Amino acid sequence: MTRTFALTGALVLCLGMAGCGMNSGGASSQAVSEEAGAATASEATAIATSMTQADVTTSAGSGASVGAIKPLASSTPGRPEGDLESCASIDVTSSGSDGWTAETLTFTAPPCVFTGARGFVTLDITGAIALTRSNGDGFNFTSTSTKLEWAYTTAANTVYSETRNGTRAITATADSASATSNITAVFAGAKHSGTLTHVGSSNFTPADGSSIVAGQPLPSGTFTHTGTDTWVGTDGNTGTFDVTTITPLAYDATCKDTMPSVFDSGELQLHKTTDAANKITTITWSNCGVPTVTYVESN
């Protein structure tokens, strides 16, 4: 049995909200695979936007596109548009000869309230990110999220949210970067709400002629992802999946501020390991749009 659907319509407004706009149903392999696929797509984007210190402090490592978001008029006067670091309070807990080695960014709404994110009316950011790095090292660092919530409000005053807890460790040079992730992401308010636990690794290679620059956002390039995802839905759907890369994901830095996704192309595969049957879900990206999820069951 094969089922393909594009995460369009309502899901465009809540991209990353597991199952928003999808069919409901019992605890079937198809239902849980589709829910897990949507959540995994969101988490892949979050990993991509966590690969540099610049991206973490300006997007909170969430995967949301914030560069084009405007703060509300009531936000802190003089704050640059889309500047999350200056809306957060910063506590430097240790420093070395070249600046901080450990700091915590704490987000409170207000002032961390924005308009225009993903077509929503408002975006409220709360929670904290702790960053640690070696003295003088602008590439390698660890980020730990604690109750980092992105809450989106629609014109109908409906709220969708993504809340992340956990740690990513980044190792990078000018030529490549890798991330190990142990993250729990809670998706609430969507048609299929639930919790995704992601444990895995990701690798990034800059496009020809590009390089990773300390203190700058990630350039365009390619990602590969592997790991294990466990989905626990509030509707009773649960499952554990092996995640592999079928076609490397093309990260397009020009899509970050304006498009639904940061990936121009690529395909991930989820293999459900909690059933005896061979059940596969693929997530396919195209033109920085909302990804398409395809479910296949083959005994």
Q: How far apart are CA 33 and CA 2, in angstroms?
A: 12
DSSP label at residue 117: G
Give the per-residue pLDDT at 31.
Answer: 84
Structural domain for 288, as ranges: 2-298
Q: Kindly give the parts of the chain with pLDDT less than 50.
A: 1-27, 66-82
Closest alpha carbon to 148 in 107, 117, 92, 114: 107
Q: How far apart are CA 297 and CA 288, in angstroms?
A: 28
For tokens 């398409």, name the residue: 292
Please tell me the total count of domains within the chain.
Answer: 1
| Torsion angle, alpha carbons of 178, 69, 290, 156, to 10 | 130
- Three-point CA angle 273, 289, 178, nearest 5°: 55
Give the per-residue pLDDT at 26.
Answer: 37
Give the per-residue pLDDT at 66.
Answer: 47
pLDDT digit string, tens, across residues 49-86: 899 988 888 777 776 554 444 444 444 444 444 455 56
Whole-Å CA distances, 158 to 19, 49, 72, 146, 188: 16, 26, 19, 24, 11
pLDDT digit string, tens, across residues 158-183: 888 999 999 999 999 999 999 999 99
Q: How far apart are CA 258 and CA 112, in angstroms?
A: 20
Closest alpha carbon to 131 in 121, 140, 141: 141
Closest alpha carbon to 164 in 180, 148, 152: 148
Give the per-residue pLDDT at 63.
Answer: 63
The backbone torsions φ and ψ at residue 267, rounded to the nearest 5 degrees and listed phi first, read -150, 130
Give the per-residue pLDDT at 19.
Answer: 34
Q: Are 58 and 66 in contact (CB under 8 A)?
A: yes
Give the per-residue pLDDT at 73.
Answer: 43
The backbone torsions φ and ψ at residue 150, rounded to the nearest 5 degrees and listed phi first, read -115, 110
Residue 29: CA atoms inside 13 Å, Cβ hemisphere, count? Answer: 22
